[in-house]
Structure 1
Amino acid sequence: MILIRLLQLDKRDLKVVILGDVNVGKTSLICRYIDGKFLASDPTVGASFFMTHWGPYNVAVWDTAGQEKYTGLSSFYCRNAGAAIFAFDLNCMKSFNSLGVRFLPLLDSAHECCLKVLVGTKLDLTTPGSRQVSTEAAEKLALQMNADQSIEKLQKAPYFETSSKTGHNVEEVFDYILQYCLPLSPEQIKRRPTVSKSTINLTDIKSESSTEEDHKKCCA
């Protein structure tokens, strides 16, 4: 599928990108938040684009592929991101270790104050014997990744343990990000509209993408 001129379509106040190894449940996490239901999906190819609302703001959420062969594409989709979700499987240490090695460098083209939120997935499948990543280790990494952020504004380590199957903590992940980046008053939060969705599957980048860099706008 040919890349659409996304910067003409992506009319947003905040861009959020989700990164992580293949099969950690990135798409399921987004679909649980967007649609309110569990979706066991095939691995993402390229990226998928969702547009949601937070009070008066438009928020673009980019779901990227976890396979190493798509690393170059994922770097492109990180351009001007104001927040990033780093997802890993609580039962797979390899997926946790890859966050700092493979995925953190992709944010070189993100907003200079990009918020980084770690999300442990598949909590419903976790048992004392299967769990490989401790809460303490994940919280420590989350704080290290956000050394450039105000500790007072963060309020807590930007780390959540989630289950897309049950919905546990999924909405809390996005509420944390959106309230941090686009603060709303209690009254605005109460009145915020239901999340909506428009999706574009993107699997290819043409040479025109290099010229689009000249026209990009910085995310809030």
Structure 2
Amino acid sequence: MVTEEMATTPKKKADLKVVIIGDMSVGKSTLIQRYLSGKFQDTLSQTIGAAFFLKQWGPYNIAIWDTAGEEKFSGLSSFYCRNARAAIMAYDISERESFDSLYARHLPLLQQGAEEDCLVIAVGTKLDLVTPNTREVTNEEGEKFAYDANPSRFQDGTRTDLRIPFYETSSVTGENVDNVFTYIFKTLLPLDPEGNPIEPNAARKRSPDVVDLENPSNAGNAGKSSKESERLPPQGKKAGCC
């Protein structure tokens, strides 16, 4: 079985950079914390700039960046998306505006800095609060966004084997949270049942300056190396739920 434990001896470079972007208060940080800790945390404060996490996937180090959702931080968010090979684009299922802003603001920002073939995962949040009366974004709309945001994987018709990268999640119950990250890792850094790389050179596809684990400032964050549970937002600010 593949284990996903914290790296005890981090390599100098991360093998994969993942960013999570979306409007303020859609639950980006709680999604990450639910995945990393297996618990729901509802007392996280607002993310200022970005926060950095390290996750182990087999022999690989994964750098996960949580970005601020406020529009005034748009320039920073674009900067933190630099060289990302995967992006979780999050929206509140019960808040139409947060979904529309993925098209209007966040996807263009991602495209400015991410890798050309960046894998985009559309993630609806707060599923536990959704009722027929409060739902403002349908499953079909979420799937269509994921399809539109991944033209190199779906629109040319050559990758019919891939599941559409779309999930509706709940950080409270944990529904589909693990599936979001597992989808990313299995797609970009596949492992065999023993946890060995299926594509030994997969990590080499990354840009050489994705993130220096000994000096995360190279990827836009002033600070020292981070472990899975450590957060390193700029200017010493605590990052959080937004």
TM over 0.5: yes
Is the counterpart of residue 111 in structure 1 residue 115 in structure 2? yes
Counterpart of 1:155 (choices 157, 162, 168) is 162
Aligned residues: 190
Task: Return the offset for 1:100.
Answer: 1.2
Task: Return the offset for 1:198.
Answer: 4.4
State whether residues 34 and 197 of structure 1, in contact with CA within 8 Å, keep that contact through their aligned partners in structure 2: yes
Is the counterpart of residue 200 in structure 1 residue 203 in structure 2? no
Is the counterpart of residue 52 in structure 1 residue 83 in structure 2? no
> 1:170-214 CA distances to partner (integer Å, 9 max, x unpaired)?
00000000001101112218xxxxxx614333235xxxxxxxxxx
TM-score by length of 2: 0.75
Distance change (3 Å), C-alpha of 1:10 and 1:84: farther
Distance change (3 Å), C-alpha of 1:17 and 1:153: farther
Task: Return the offset for 1:101.
Answer: 1.0
CA RMSD of aligned residues (A): 1.7
**Aligned partners of 1:49 and 1:183: how far apart in 2?**
23
Structure 2, unaligned runs of 5 or more: 1-10, 197-226, 236-242
> 1:143-181 CA distances to partner (integer Å, 9 max, x unpaired)?
010011255266221100000011000000000000011
Identify the structure with the greater helix proportion.
1
Structure 1, unaligned runs of 5 or more: 1-8, 190-195, 205-220
Is the counterpart of residue 182 in structure 1 residue 184 in structure 2? no
Task: Return the offset for 1:112.
Answer: 1.3
Distance change (3 Å), C-alpha of 1:154 and 1:110: farther
Counterpart of 2:134 (choices 107, 130, 133) is 130
Distance change (3 Å), C-alpha of 1:66 and 1:10: farther
Is the counterpart of residue 27 in structure 1 residue 55 in structure 2? no
| Secondary structure class of the residue paired with 2:151 | coil
The residue type paired with residue 195 of structure 2 is Q
- Residue equivalent to 2:171: 164
Distance change (3 Å), C-alpha of 1:162 and 1:130: same
The farther-off stretch of 19-28 and 177-186 is 177-186
| Secondary structure class of the residue paired with 1:16 | strand
Is the counterpart of residue 79 in structure 1 residue 82 in structure 2? yes
**Aligned partners of 1:63 and 1:10: how far apart in 2?**
21
The residue type paired with residue 201 of structure 1 is L
Q: How do residues 31-46 of structure 1 correspond to structure 2 at under 5 angstroms? A: 31-40=33-42, 41-46=44-49
Task: Return the offset for 1:106.
Answer: 1.6
Deviating 4+ runs (over 6 angstroms): none
TM-score by length of 1: 0.82
